[in-house]
Amino acid sequence: MDYRIEKDTMGEVKVPADKYWGAQTERSRNNFKIGPAGSMPKEVVYGFAYLKKAAAYANCELGVLPEEKRNAIAQVCDEILEGKLDAEFPLVIWQTGSGTQSNMNVNEVIANRAQVLAGGKIGEGEPVLKANDDVNKSQSSNDTYPTGMHIACYKSVMEKTIPGVEKLRDTLQTKSEAFKDVVKIGRTHLMDATPLTLGQEFSGYVSQLNHGLKALRNTLEHLSELALGGTAVGTGLNAPKGYDVLVAKYIAEFTGLPFITAENKFEALAAHDAIVESHGALKQLSVSLNKIANDIRMMASGPRSGIGEILIPENEPGSSIMPGKVNPTQCEALTMVAAQVMGNDVAITIGGTQGHYELNVFKPLLAYNFLQSAELIGDACVSFDEHCAKGIEPNYRRIKELVDSSLMLVTALNTKIGYYKAAEIAQTAHRNGTTLKDEAVRLGYVSPEDFDAWVRPEDMV
């Protein structure tokens, strides 16, 4: 491989000749060989591209950056956002907790790519852009990384999480309405309880997802606040007056999302409560999805030796040794995603505690875990919807069989003969393997006609 020599304040570094990054990126590559290369989420890199372009426009409007430099920065940022330079961002999450090296990675790529676009060669002649003086003007890694992180996380929630959850929610709502007259046995403590309809059961799932979506949307206002303009410690040192408001306006314009400048930059740099808060809503959704998937998995269990109340799509063979076996694979995938998101929430909670004085130093970890959760929930909901939820149908024969054999239908007799006599009927029927009606009549507590009139599952829902 051919190399070129790049310099920074610590001296010379050999950099792959065909890459746009510079010395600080290469130092990070060499010093943090932890985990897979290129693990910094591309969403964060794109967040940086939005903010660097916005910063260039704001600095130009405020008279501290020439128009030709603004245009050069913007041109490369647009290339980054088009995915043309993805291979130029090789750094891992496990680096400095401020994300300084990723900020410099973006600065170096923009500066060197601009040099080539202008017809020059990297490291030769007068630079079109200087990474620290021009691309990073009015900025610090301490305010750029949290800004890029907020842009990435907000966009991911809006573009992946919410649409995916809504898609599944809408299907479950359709099923709830379709199943509104399907009377089935209820269960509490995994034991038989009084009847309800399958539609009522599914309506609970719809309500869970609606509440989760509401909680998530309620956190977006805090997540929309951007740290940019706080520079090193929140005071705004080296940024022109009005820059913070103006740069947020440009970010909102470029992204089409309602970003604003953070009211308090000291909080925006030193604490990441907005990330903790929003991920808490993602955790809430994962708890709901876990319950929904497990209920569906258990209701579909069997097909002959389980509950078998519903039929789910048969998507692939379930065993390499048992011919004909089919498993609830979409339920398993969704519950594994839920477990991962809950684990990510622990990491984000710990990361949120690592704000010491004027800086939180777990920023890359916070971004990585949040973005993984947002994407996983969105993708898993779409997969579960398409390959499971849409195909759910009641197993009418099995549902009727279980309702008819349930001992808890005796609850309908409570107000007629009292709790204790009703309990005696249920316990006797269970012990003798007989029906509720047989024992109710034999014990002399009700007539056959009264039993049929009072114990009607469809009237108990």
Single out the catalytic residue among 28, 150, 156, 189: 189
Q: How many whole angstroms separate alpha carbon 140 and alpha carbon 237? A: 10
Answer yes or no: is 326 a known binding residue.
yes
Q: Which of 207, 279, 319, 447 is labelled catalytic?
A: 319
Query: 18 exposed, middle or buried (CB, 10 Å; 0-12, 13-18, 19+)?
Result: exposed
Q: Is 99 assigned a ligand-binding role in the annotation? A: yes
- d(C-alpha 22, C-alpha 85), whole Å: 14
Please check if 428 is assigned to a binding site: no
CA atoms of 171 and 351, how far apart (whole Å) = 36
Check if 319 is active-site.
yes
DSSP 337-349: HHHHHHHHHHHHH
How far is 209 from 205, CA to CA, in rounded Å? 6
- The reply to whether 98 sits in an annotated binding site is yes
188 is in an annotated binding site: yes
CA dihedral in degrees (39, 41, 44, 45; nearest 10)? 70
290 in a labelled binding site: no
Q: Is 183 marked as a binding-site residue?
A: no
Would you list the DSSP string of 225-292? EE-TT-TTTSS-TTS-TTHHHHHHHHHHHHHTS--EE-S-HHHHHH--HHHHHHHHHHHHHHHHHHHH
Is 320 within any annotated ligand binding site?
A: yes
Amino acid at 188: T
CA trace torsion 260, 276, 173, 155 (10° rounding): 40
161 belongs to an annotated ligand binding site: no
- In the structure encoding, which two tokens stand for residue 270, read together? 């030193």
Q: Based on the residue annotation, tell me whether 305 is a catalytic residue of this protein.
A: no
105 is in an annotated binding site: no
- DSSP annotation of 64 reads S
Q: Which residue has the tokens 């907000």?
A: 154
**Other beta carbons within 10 Å of 92:** 20
Q: What does DSSP assign to residue 36? A: S
**Helix, coil or strand: residue 155:** helix
Classified as helix, coil or strand, 359 is strand
Question: Which tokens is 159 given?
Answer: 């573009």
**CA gyration radius, the chain:** 30
> Does 432 show up as a binding residue in the annotation?
no
Q: Which two tokens stand for residue 296?
A: 């569906």
Active-site annotation, residues = 189, 319
Write out the binding residues for substrate: 98-100, 140-142, 188, 320, 325-327
Write out the binding residues: 98-100, 140-142, 188, 320, 325-327
